[in-house]
């Protein structure tokens, strides 16, 4: 008598998995990381810009903090809000919150056609790059040490 082989799972390549599949994937990896790192501190960190006329979102930064690292996922401001110092303020607010959460490093990737010089101006250092399309473009990986405030010089 032969033992039937266990049925293999179905694999699907999708442009976007449904909400339940994404939840299972994210929660599964989260549980694995907590079990192995012993730390459960993965939290979103977003800074939004609201249009004062409409009250609607106009741009901002999305990211997360986990295991002492601040990951910047997306940072966008419309042309009308650029070159006014707003981007620097947003980045500073996000980094301050990341420090408050105990992060020692911030990291992101941008593209050569986007804003790597903006991040370099704010102390980010390139640690890798991958060529991508169009020709001459590259994904630029950047990181920054987030120094914790000196407790002896802080006012209470």
Domains held by the chain: number:
1
The mean pLDDT value for 52-70 works out to: 96
pLDDT at 154: 53
Mean of pLDDT values over 98-116: 97
In a domain, 110, yes or no: yes
pLDDT of residue 82: 94
Beta bridge partners of 140: 110, 129
CATH of the domain at 62: 3.40.630.30
List all residues 6 or more positions away from 136 whose beta carbon is below 8 Å from its beta carbon.
Answer: 112
Mean pLDDT of 70-79: 98
Kindly state whether residue 5 falls inside one of the protein's structural domains. Answer: no
| Average pLDDT of the segment spanning 58-77 | 98
pLDDT of residue 5: 78
What is the bridge-based pairing of β-strands 105-111 and 69-76? parallel
Q: Residue 4: pLDDT above 90?
A: no
Domain encompassing residue 84? 41-145
Q: Which residues contact 12 (CB under 8 A, 6 or more apart)?
A: none
The chain-wide mean pLDDT, for the chain, equals 94
Q: What are the residues whose beta carbons fall under 8 Å from the beta carbon of 137, sequence distance 6 or more?
A: 111, 112, 113, 131
First to last CA, the chain: 78
Evaluate whether residue 36 is within a structural domain.
no
Whether residue 122 is contained in a domain is answered as yes
3 part of a folded domain: no
Check whether 150 has a pLDDT greater than 70: no
- Quick check: 18 pLDDT over 50? yes
Q: Which of 117, 109, 104 is nearest to 144 (CA)?
A: 104
Residue at 47 is within a domain: yes
DSSP 23-80: HHHHHHHHHHHHHHH-----EEEEEEEE-TTT-SEEEEEEEEEETTEEEEEEEE--GG
66 assigned to some structural domain: yes
- The mean per-residue pLDDT over the stretch 54-73 comes to 97
Q: For residue range 33-60, what is the model confidence (pLDDT) as tens digits?
A: 999 999 999 999 999 999 999 999 999 9
User: pTM of the full predicted structure?
Assistant: 0.86
pLDDT exceeds 80 at position 156 = no
Tens-place pLDDT, residues 114-128: 999 999 999 999 999
């Amino acid at each position: 008598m032969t033992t039937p082989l266990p049925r293999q799972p179905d694999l699907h390549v999708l442009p976007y998995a449904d909400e339940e599949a994404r939840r299972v994937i994210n929660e599964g990896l989260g549980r694995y990381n907590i079990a192995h790192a012993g730390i459960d501190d993965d939290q979103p960190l977003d800074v939004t810009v609201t249009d004062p006329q409409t009250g609607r979102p106009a741009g901002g930064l999305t990211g997360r903090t986990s295991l002492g690292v601040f990951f910047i996922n997306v940072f966008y401001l419309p042309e009308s809000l650029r070159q006014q110092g707003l981007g620097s303020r947003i980045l500073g607010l996000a980094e301050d919150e990341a420090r408050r959460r105990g992060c020692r490093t911030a990291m992101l990737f941008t593209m050569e056609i986007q804003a790597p010089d903006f991040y370099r101006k704010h102390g980010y250092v390139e640690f890798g790059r991958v060529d991508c399309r169009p020709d001459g473009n590259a994904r630029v990986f950047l990181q920054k040490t987030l120094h914790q405030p000196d407790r002896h010089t802080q006012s209470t």
